[in-house]
Structure 1
Amino acid sequence: MAIVSLYGRQTEKVDDLVSLLSTPIVAYAVLDELDLDPDDADKLRKFAEFIEPAVAPRARPAARWLAAKAHELSGDLIAAEKTLLEAEKLGPTSLVLLDLAEYASERGDAVRGLALAQRAGLTAGHPLFRLLKQFQPQPRPELGRNKPCWCGSGRKCKVCHLNSEQLPLDVRAAWLYQKAGMHLDQDLLIELATERSRHSGTWMQALNDPLINDVALFQGGAFAAFLVTRGALLPADERLLGEQWTLIERSVFEIQRVRAGIGLTVRDLRTGDTHDVRERAASRQLTAGSLVCARIVPAGDTMQIFGGLEPIGLRERDELIKLLDNDPDPVELVAFLTARFAPPKLVNTEGDPLAMCSATLSVTDTLSEALDGAYERAEDGAPEWLDLDGDDHVRARIRLDGQLHIETNSENRLDRILDELRTLDPILTIVDESREPVPDTRAATEALGRMAPAGPALSDADATSVMEQFILDYEQKWLDDSIPALAGLTPRQAANDPTRRDDLIRLLESFPDDGNPTRMSPTRIRAALGL
């Protein structure tokens, strides 16, 4: 172990080294570099005891701090706190004061924690300072120092609860949550933030997303680990509350009633339980019938939500419930809940991702007759053939002019046509090939324009008309498609099924209804279904 190599060094060199540990950033960097584990606790403690009497007085608080870290490694937080208090008496360095401020926070003593943080030189922007300030008890101006204390003890306020009032548990629940958040594994946080920023922003911006911390705390196991390692410091009611939280799973909820600025009534779709939740911000934005993914936990005499609310579409509901039932990996869960930020996927009538695909092939002169037998020749008799589906949708266009040219709007279609053509002419050779994904509706309009019959180039108005017809055709096909969000029923079947009709209505409500000709119209669909 690295620390053993320090034994026997000249005292002044050890002196200088230990003195460097008085700076918190250096001290924690050294510990991180040593990569200590519980098995090293006894070695670290002995090392601290060995060097403390040998170093100058200015370095002794840091040596005693190392002994406190040894107690932490072994899991004895009470001994670690006692050792830190001893180190403070040797010399109140910022290193020792900072740790004592965190211990005070975990014990629920914001007043003492703030005093220690200020002595340690923390500024108002430091996370620990902000946390302590947030939960500092507010003075009761209506109670004089010499009046009986509000708690009923019979003693004067100044000797009882003045400046030491404990906040109610429903308020301290947020403090407990943030205490645990200060011990998160940074590598996991970065991994989750990277996944969260897959479709927009940067991973550094995503670190501020409440979902990231919550998934790391619970799916990642950090909260349970916090209770094991730091639980001895917590007030008894907070520790009991934390143990309750570890038994509660994230779930999918349907909003049943909204009390704007006050709270929500929700139904857990996994268990059927109903909860009245105190939630001021989200209650101003959500509406009855909405679906959300959240963690709802007890907090004193209330139910609260920590870790934010993730809106869920009806299409994702059943799949998300199945995922949660199978105890998902943290990254897997974040990936699922982040998919809603992905740009929409454009597909053709067969469900394949849209792509502008073309291929040019060298062929024999006898292929024309074979093409007549396999595809639909153009009406004017030109050497051009169409691959049509049962509804006369053009799936591919084939043209012969010395070479064979193929155009399709998906890679799967191109591959299928190529396979079919090889059965007609086994020796055909690909001369050129292009496969370009279609990222948006404008590109889709251009692709559809190229799929139109040969003739003058389409104007923007003509291209829009082509897209409108494509959407109208797609809507009619959609009415009779099996939809996962409707438990596999078609929209027509769901409209006539009392158990799925509400799901169909919610699904249509999630569709934009802005008159955009490149989108399905929920108004037209409702009319077609008689809703």
Structure 2
Amino acid sequence: MPPPWWGHLLAAFDQPGALMVEDLAKELGIDAESVEGELADSPLFHETEDGWVHLRHLAEGAVLTHQVTAREIAENRLDGADDLSLWLRFAVGSGWPLAVGGMLTADVRGGLRGPDGWLSGFSDGDVLGLRLSHGLFEVAPLRPGGATARPGAMARVVEESVGQAMLAVAVYAHFRDTDPGVRPVAPLDGVIADILHNYPGTFDLPHPPLTELLPEGGLVLGDGHAHMRGAPERAADVQGLSEDDVIRLVKVRHALSILSPDSDLTGTLRHIAVSDAVIGHLADDVARRPLPADMLAALLRAAADARQEAAVAFLAARQAGEPTEAATLVEHVLELAPGLASALRDAGFYAACRGDYAKADDLLRRGGVQSDEGLRPALRPLLSAPAGQTSRNQPCPCGSGRKYKACHQAAEAHGLPRRAPLLHLLILEYGSAPANRAAVEAAVAPGPAASATFLAETAVFEYGMAADFLAEYRGLLKADEAALVESWLPEPLRLWEVAEVDQAHGTVLLRALLGAPPAPGASPDGAPAGGGGPVRLRKRGLAHAVRAGDLLLARVLADGDGPRLLVDPPVLRDLPGLPPFTDPVDPPAVAAFLSRAANPQPLEPGLFL
């Protein structure tokens, strides 16, 4: 219900022009806050830098265009959320009159409706113009060869829209930690209204539909909003980035989406190279969607110093098709920029795959990985010499005079059971690589946080990422390591019963109850980890955490000496139904199953008999 003074407020806007809230409040004898609230709630008013304006005056003579589809003609409605978003503001509520009679109204789906048959003169693919003329909406087809907006006007629309979308990114970067509702998008109706206010007459002649025009400037349209190509879709996409780095990252992504190899790339390179964090995020981008080879070459040619060359070389390393090539490129990057954190972490991963454990640990440490994070806990047992061999700080037995750790230690192999945890962790790290990360995160999300590592393991094996790791990195692994990973691939996820617990010796005896369908290559009888019966595990922590009769959901893998659990399994004392052992196993379903286990429903007696 409008306030009693609403009519007087409307009368104040009888003439075109912007009015300040303070002046309106003084004229009406109403407090400014109430006046501003009513203006903001009305779709027909728009706030500009000069004050508030009435859209009826602002948009007089403007025409917006839209390509009609057969579906729209059949439904007697136009999809107005993007091309015609400004006109939707006129159509809400009781609507706005059409020149041919009837009213233009808005429906709940963001569509524009008119009287029956108002679109009957159009065919699929026609472009119509919807113009506000003398306070009425005129609908007419755009004929080939008719007058259209000049290129300068079209360029202005694109430039102003990009500017507003970039402003939305800056606002998002500033408030993202304090306002969870802020989004890096610009409302199209507001963008067009601002252009009409700042550049009167821009839309007097028809432009191409906004959904055709604005993407040429690197904008993405949807649901009545425009955003920069490369704007973050969720907070995790820019986690850890400073406000300035968020803006730099989006500017670079946007530039790379619209520039050609022949463009001036110097400004883009400066934005890339100024921040380690921006380089790292762009490297993740190209790992998912590689840059064209000619663009990568053009960036390298444009590099003005070692830092910029290192940034481009790191992008090349991330999109290299073969790990040996990528490892060589990363070494070159570190020669140019020794402190580049993302490159140090990548180099550490490659060194761990090659078995150069001391170098891997040093690189990861320099790359900011803490001693209890990532690969480093699994590297720690491998930093000392294998049992019975030379200490890492003693002279190397080869007689070189160098310390053993700097000479032949990397060539000495620990036993396979000692290397198995690192090998398994390398596979999990591969699952967190940019190309795989979204799928693994989606698989882990429905489950309890305590089971995140187990669920990540489930995802990398069930989605074939472990097999992909072996295919890509076999050349860096030792032969026995490659064979061990190959033995892991067919092992299915199973439900186990704890049959016996020996805390004194730190062992647990497991009996398989249910299992997912064995993968190709698994033993015909479904025996776990190559065995044919119950599995005895030596895992002291597990022996103190479970009791006989408990149930475990786990993938039991060989370690070169016997069966082993390489991640902590979820312990289930009551089941919320049967585990979702479909063929293939659906990791998100497993995660949801574990979440339901927090509020279990008892099963029928004898279910497993």
Structure 1 residues 283 and 11: alpha-carbon distance in aligned structure 2, compared to 1, 3 A threshold: closer
1:27 to 279, 292, 298: 279
- Between stretches 134-143 and 176-185, larger displacement belongs to 134-143
Matches within 5 A, 1:401-416: none
Is 1:224–2:476 an aligned residue pair? no
Give how far 1:256 is off.
3.5
Q: Which residue of 2 is the match for residue 98 of structure 1?
A: 345
Structure 1 residues 7 and 113: alpha-carbon distance in aligned structure 2, compared to 1, 3 A threshold: same
> 2-side partners of 1:181 and 1:188: how far apart?
13
| SS of match in other structure, 1:342 | coil
> 1-side partners of 2:573 and 2:283: how far apart?
46
Matches within 5 A, 1:101-112: 101-112=348-359
Q: Which residue of 1 is the match for residue 300 of structure 2?
A: 52
Structure in which a larger fraction of residues adopt helix: 1
Amino acid at match of 1:9: S
1:166 to 410, 413, 434: 413
Amino acid at match of 1:336: F
Q: Which residue of 2 is the match for residue 484 of structure 1?
A: 604
In the alignment, structure 2 segments of 5+ residues that lack a partner are 1-254, 515-525
Post-superposition Cα deviations, 1:464-523, rounded to whole Å, max 9, x if no partner, equal xxxxxxxxxxxxxxxxxxx73325xxxxxxxxxxxx9xx6xxxxxxxxxxxxxxxxxxxx
Give how far 1:108 is off.
2.5
Q: Which residue of 1 is the match for residue 545 of structure 2?
A: 285
Give how far 1:263 is off.
2.0
Give how far 1:63 is off.
1.8
Is 1:16–2:270 an aligned residue pair? yes
Which structure is larger by alpha-carbon Rg, 1 or 2?
A: 1
Give how far 1:140 is off.
6.9
> 2-side partners of 1:137 and 1:292: how far apart?
34
> 1-side partners of 2:416 and 2:395: how far apart?
25
> 2-side partners of 1:300 and 1:258: how far apart?
23
Give how far 1:194 is off.
3.8
2:438 to 177, 187, 193: 187
Post-superposition Cα deviations, 1:139-166, rounded to whole Å, max 9, x if no partner, equal 87984677885xxx89999456447643
Amino acid at match of 1:227: L
Structure 1 residues 173 and 19: alpha-carbon distance in aligned structure 2, compared to 1, 3 A threshold: same
Structure 1 residues 299 and 6: alpha-carbon distance in aligned structure 2, compared to 1, 3 A threshold: same
Is 1:235–2:478 an aligned residue pair? yes
Matches within 5 A, 1:66-145: 66-71=315-320, 75-94=321-340, 95-124=342-371, 126-133=373-380, 135-137=382-384, 143=390
Q: Which residue of 1 is the match for residue 590 of structure 2?
A: 333
Q: Which residue of 1 is the match for residue 492 of structure 2?
A: 249
Q: Which residue of 2 is the match for residue 176 of structure 1?
A: 423
> 2-side partners of 1:173 and 1:338: how far apart?
30
Give how far 1:192 is off.
3.9
Matches within 5 A, 1:333-372: 333-342=590-599
Structure 1 residues 2 and 11: alpha-carbon distance in aligned structure 2, compared to 1, 3 A threshold: closer
Q: Which residue of 1 is the match for residue 560 of structure 2?
A: 300
Q: Which residue of 2 is the match for residue 212 of structure 1?
A: 455
> 2-side partners of 1:209 and 1:122: how far apart?
20
Contact 1:253–1:293 (8 Å) recurs in 2? yes
> 2-side partners of 1:258 and 1:214: how far apart?
25
Q: So what's the TM-score if we normalise by structure 1?
A: 0.53
Contact 1:292–1:312 (8 Å) recurs in 2? yes
> 2-side partners of 1:311 and 1:97: how far apart?
37
> 2-side partners of 1:148 and 1:136: how far apart?
15
Give how far 1:87 is off.
2.6
| SS of match in other structure, 2:592 | helix
> 2-side partners of 1:121 and 1:306: how far apart?
25
Contact 1:110–1:132 (8 Å) recurs in 2? yes
Structure 1 residues 146 and 81: alpha-carbon distance in aligned structure 2, compared to 1, 3 A threshold: closer
> 2-side partners of 1:268 and 1:92: how far apart?
51
In the alignment, structure 1 segments of 5+ residues that lack a partner are 198-205, 346-482, 488-499, 504-531
Contact 1:258–1:288 (8 Å) recurs in 2? yes
Contact 2:262–2:298 (8 Å) recurs in 1? no
Amino acid at match of 1:167: H
Give how far 1:123 is off.
4.7
Post-superposition Cα deviations, 1:225-268, rounded to whole Å, max 9, x if no partner, equal 33234443333322221121111001122333333243223332
Q: Which residue of 2 is the match for residue 5 of structure 1?
A: 259
Q: Which residue of 2 is the match for residue 466 of structure 1?
A: none
Is 1:263–2:507 an aligned residue pair? yes
Q: Which residue of 1 is the match for residue 312 of structure 2?
A: 63
Contact 1:137–1:163 (8 Å) recurs in 2? no
Give how far 1:296 is off.
0.7
- Identical-residue share of aligned pairs (%): 21
Contact 1:252–1:294 (8 Å) recurs in 2? yes
